[in-house]
Homo-oligomer: A and B are copies of this chain.
Amino acid sequence: MVTIKDIAKRLGIAPSTVSKGLNDANDISPELKQLVLDTAIEMGYVTKRMKKETRKRLCVFIENMRYEQSRHFGFDIILGFRQAAVRDNWDITIVPITPDLQLEDPYDRYMVKNNYHGGFLVGFALKDPWMEQLKTTTIPTVLFDNYITKNSNVAYVGTDSFEGIDLAIDHLTALGHTQIALLNGSLNSMVTAHRYDAYIASMQSHQLQVNENLVAYGHYVEDSAKYHMPSLIKNGATAILCGNDLLAVGIIRECEKLHIKIPTDLSIIGYDNLPIAAEISPALTTINQDRINLGRNAYAALFWLIAKVPISRSLLRPQLIVRDTTAKPKSSYHRVRYSSQSSQRLQSNL
């Protein structure tokens, strides 16, 4: 159980100052108040005021994504959203959702019934029942990584996938790679489509031939990697650009089993910069998504929509984080695609 003393210790201020921050006292600056609230939320402290608030309510729906622990992709997004929303005294409810639950109630009815003033939808798939309904919703709604045309009640927030993929291909081509594979995520997702389009555009702008045999679609989970790696490598990939870090981790584990050396034999780039990217060995070169600020940005967009400002989209820049999974490709002469042993193991995976 987090106490006021814990928050005070963390911030290096007196417990009485923390109390002032939590109780909206007048003799403490708004900025320090916000910092106290941010920290309290991050540490899991629940204030009396937060318990009392029932009138102003926002709902975060999350699907197809883990968010319970800090190592999960959704965790910081929701944390950032809650940190930003608390200053306006919103009560935030987190609802894990499924297509079946969406079929029980239309989106607008669900929101009105539960007295939610706005929604933040994270991880929705293109075919989700509510996605169609969002084209005409009257409820202020922010989508993470999804876009709805021509409805000024709905905004899209995310990280610019085009620049992310382009940064990765800049890096790989600077190292000398030309046979760059894309191991993409699930087809039923807008960012998957964006990253494919970005890959094609970036390969072309780098004067590289696109080879469709070097493109595969899996799912955004580690276990998916092994089904796709063999054909990418057999088709000559010297580098694999992955749709997220989990896929990249799957590739690293598979390479371990098959005695393929990273980055000597194969370069790998992830996407997202989850904590595991820094922890795994070799540490993963990846594209950072600033998830705390994505959450804050989502709240800012929702705040604007509620104020009738027709925000359409608000995107953050990705950042390339170079670690240990990328290097020059072997020269063609020295390249050993597979030892016969690796080859046999691969066959059994196909």
Tell me if A38 is interfacial: C-beta within 8 Å of chain B.
Answer: yes
Tell me if A286 is interfacial: C-beta within 8 Å of chain B.
Answer: no
Q: Is there contact, CB below 8 Å, between B11 and A31?
A: yes
Contacting residues, chain B, for A311 (C-beta < 8 A): 297, 314-317
**Residues A226-245 near B (CB distance < 8 A):** none
Encode contact with B along A313-337: 1 for CB under 8 Å, 0 otherwise.
1111101000000000000000000
Encode contact with B along A154-170: 1 for CB under 8 Å, 0 otherwise.
00000110010011000
Tell me if A300 is interfacial: C-beta within 8 Å of chain B.
Answer: yes
Assuming the A-B contacts A35-B32, A35-B35, are A160 and B312 also in contact, with contact meaning beta carbons closer than 8 angstroms in the complex? yes
Query: Taking the full assembly, how many copies of this chain does it contain?
Result: 2
Tell me if A293 is interfacial: C-beta within 8 Å of chain B.
Answer: yes
Give the Cβ gap from A72 to chain B, nearest Cβ, in Å.
22
Which stretch of A13-21, A117-125, A187-195, A248-256 is in the interface? Answer: A13-21
Contacting residues, chain B, for A313 (C-beta < 8 A): 160, 313-315
User: What CA separation (Å) do A31 and B31 show in the bound complex?
Assistant: 10
User: What CA separation (Å) do A340 and B28 show in the bound complex?
Assistant: 59
Q: Is there contact, CB below 8 Å, between A312 and B12?
A: no
Encode contact with B along A1-45: 1 for CB under 8 Å, 0 otherwise.
000000001111110010010000101110110010011000000
Assuming the A-B contacts A309-B293, A310-B316, A311-B297, are A12 and B29 also in contact, with contact meaning beta carbons closer than 8 angstroms in the complex? yes
Tell me if A290 is interfacial: C-beta within 8 Å of chain B.
Answer: yes
